[in-house]
Amino acid sequence: MGVKIRHIASYEGNCWKEERVEEAKNPADSLELTGVKKQKVLGFGGCFSELGWEALQLANKEERETFLEELFSKDKCDFNVGRVPIGASDFSLAWYSCDEADGDYDLKHFNIERDKQYTIPFIREAQKRQKDFSLFASPWSPPTWMKTMKVCNYGTIRMEDRVLKTYAQYFIKFVKAYEAEGLKVAQIHVQNEPISDQKFPSCVWTGEKLRVFIRDYIGPALKEAGLDTELWLGTINTTFMDYANTVLADEKARSYLTGVGFQWAGKYAIEQVEESYPELRLMQTESECGDGKNSWAYMEYIFTLMRIYFNHGAERYVYWNMALKDGGISTWGWCQNSLCTVNPETGELKYQPEFYLMKHLSHFVKEGARVLGMKGHWTANSLAFENMDGSIVLVVNNNLDYDRQFEFVHGEKSFAAELKAHSLHTFLIQ
């Protein structure tokens, strides 16, 4: 028998269109659901960067407002979570921290004045459109005076009791400062990409150092402060043994952690954490960034990453730069993709392929949906979810150079559709 579905497709022209579907003719080659229901999906989002906010200020006002509506309104992309840097990220306009007063162990000079100029106005645009919007925060680097090299990029934290105690309070002050602005920081992730020793803001940690800081300093400090902000081991961009397992195998350190956040090479560790520590929550914290070309091929690659994360326990998927100027170049000289780009001369705002990819999921997969197990020849190209109302969402990518027949079977119900070469499709089954 046929099945009532709605099919939304985005192909080449970056447009939504309805297409007719038919009853499947060859169920043996179809995608099927296994009956396995996995983790709940809590939502989708992006990261608030200074360069993103700067780009949006250059956009034509009407186009900017439409884009913000597209991202955060519940009937659009429905982004309900965002990432904010504690101090400068690699897509800040310049280096800064929340306290660059050398030797300020009492943090008397701590402030978020720069955030009030850039990231907080950006976040407020999300708040206006998304009532239950939440934030998670992570530093790219501690204040330079807390590091072994007094620079924003290279070096590591000074593993001294006085420094580590102060750094733990630095996180707490950030959470409270945002709270005073009416902004809830729901999660703290200890370090952005702890193996990155880069020309942009960074700080290298070993797994052993992270374990000590979590177990003996920031974990107890958050508990003593009485904050309900969750502490996460993130954002992991390396292997299971060297970092995640080094920290998580320590029972006391693990007791302070709610979950683990992964990005970049962390995609190779999430499966092992899911298997070894099923009591912990997992999330994807930053989509891989591309090269500023915003190609269709890279969008298809990002879909393969979404499959990895959702099939191995991630409850959220977070994009990186939501907006950048044409070319996507950072303050530190490298180019990345974004959901939209803005021409600084004309103010024209252009939606990029990865915007449509995010919308293919975030618009249809509602908060509380469950990831579904699948089998069949299309499994490696598909994601399946069940919303709380019982509707099923299938997202399917034909990444081959020729058209291909897609067939889906669910019990006695089935349908089929021809998917064009290099096309992305969402099927909503009522």
Q: Note the pLDDT of residue 1.
A: 41
**For the chain, how many residues are written?**
430
- Nearest residue to 399 (alpha-carbon basis) of 362, 353, 355: 353
Are the C-beta atoms of 50 and 93 separated by less than 8 Å?
yes
Q: Work out the widest C-alpha separation in the chain, in whole angstroms.
A: 73
402 DSSP assignment: S
Helix boundaries (H) for 234-319: 245-248, 251-255, 270-276, 296-311
The pTM is what? 0.94
Q: Note the pLDDT of residue 13.
A: 46
Q: Which whole-number Å values give the CA distances from 138 to 179, 248, 304, 428, in the listed order?
A: 16, 19, 26, 35
Q: Note the pLDDT of residue 17.
A: 64
Task: Please give the Cα distance from 81 to 136 (Å, whole number).
Answer: 8
What are the residue boundaries of the structural domains of the chain, listed by start? 5-38+372-429, 43-367
Q: Which CATH architecture has domain 43-367?
A: Alpha-Beta Barrel (3.20)
User: Per the structure block, which two tokens stand in for 219?
Assistant: 């974990």
Q: What is the mean pLDDT of each run of 10 residues along the chain (430 residues)?
A: 52 55 62 96 98 98 98 98 98 98 98 98 97 95 97 96 98 98 97 93 96 98 97 93 92 98 95 96 97 98 98 98 97 96 98 98 98 96 98 97 94 90 95
Task: Please give the Cα distance from 113 to 99 (Å, whole number).
Answer: 11
Task: Please give the Cα distance from 34 to 45 (Å, whole number).
Answer: 29
Three-class SS of residue 121? helix
Task: Please give the Cα distance from 265 to 273 (Å, whole number).
Answer: 14
Are the C-beta atoms of 260 and 253 separated by less than 8 Å?
no
Task: Please give the Cα distance from 160 to 182 (Å, whole number).
Answer: 34
| Side-chain-facing half-sphere of 102: CA atoms under 13 Å | 3
The dihedral built from the CA positions of residue 283, 289, 295 and 298, taken in this order, carries a sign that is negative
State the SS3 of 236-253.
ECCCHHHHHHHHHCCHHH
CATH number of 5-38+372-429: 2.60.40.1180
Q: Note the pLDDT of residue 21.
A: 61
